[in-house]
Amino acid sequence: MRRPLIGMTAYAQQVQYGSNDLMAGMLPMTYIRAVHAVGGRAVLITPDEPGTDVIESLDGIVFSGGGDIDPAYWGAERHPETEIDKERDESELLLMKAAIEADLPMLGVCRGMQVMAVAGGGTLHQHLPDVLGNDRHRGAPGTDPLAAGAAAYGRHDVRVQPGSRSHEMLGEFLTVNSFHHQAVDDPGSFTAVGWCPDDKVIEIIEDPALTYAVGVQWHPERTNDLRVFSRLVEAAARRSGGGSTWAPVKGAGREEPLAV
Name the active-site residue from 125, 206, 219, 234: 219
- pLDDT reported for residue 170: 98
Q: Which of 17-26, 53-62, 76-85 is the least confident region?
A: 17-26
- pLDDT reported for residue 145: 60
Predicted model pTM: 0.89
- Sequence ranges of the domains in the chain: 5-133+152-240
Mean pLDDT of the chain: 88
In whole angstroms, give the CA distance from residue 212 to residue 214.
Answer: 6
In whole angstroms, give the CA distance from residue 121 to residue 115.
Answer: 10
Confidence of residue 147 (pLDDT cuts 50, 70, 90): low
* Of 13 and 240, the one with more pLDDT: 240
Nearest to 60 by CA among 8, 110, 114: 8
Task: Express each pLDDT in 219-246 by its tens digit.
Answer: 999 999 999 999 999 999 999 886 544 4
Task: Express each pLDDT in 113-122 by its tens digit.
Answer: 999 999 999 9
Residue 221 annotated as catalytic = yes
Q: Where are the beta strands (DSSP E) in 173-254?
A: 173-177, 183-186, 191-195, 202-206, 213-216
154 CA to centre of own chain = 16
In whole angstroms, give the CA distance from residue 24 to residue 122.
Answer: 31
- pLDDT reported for residue 141: 60
Nearest to 196 by CA among 216, 226, 213, 220: 216
Name the active-site residue from 110, 125, 196, 203: 110
Q: In whole angstroms, how far apart are CA 84 and each of 7, 155, 214, 222?
A: 22, 25, 24, 24
* Angle of the 86-102 helix axis to the 111-119 helix axis, nearest 10: 70
22 CA to centre of own chain = 26
Query: Domain 5-133+152-240, CATH 3.20.20.220 — does that match?
Result: no
Task: Express each pLDDT in 169-212 by its tens digit.
Answer: 999 999 999 889 999 999 999 999 999 999 999 999 999 999 99
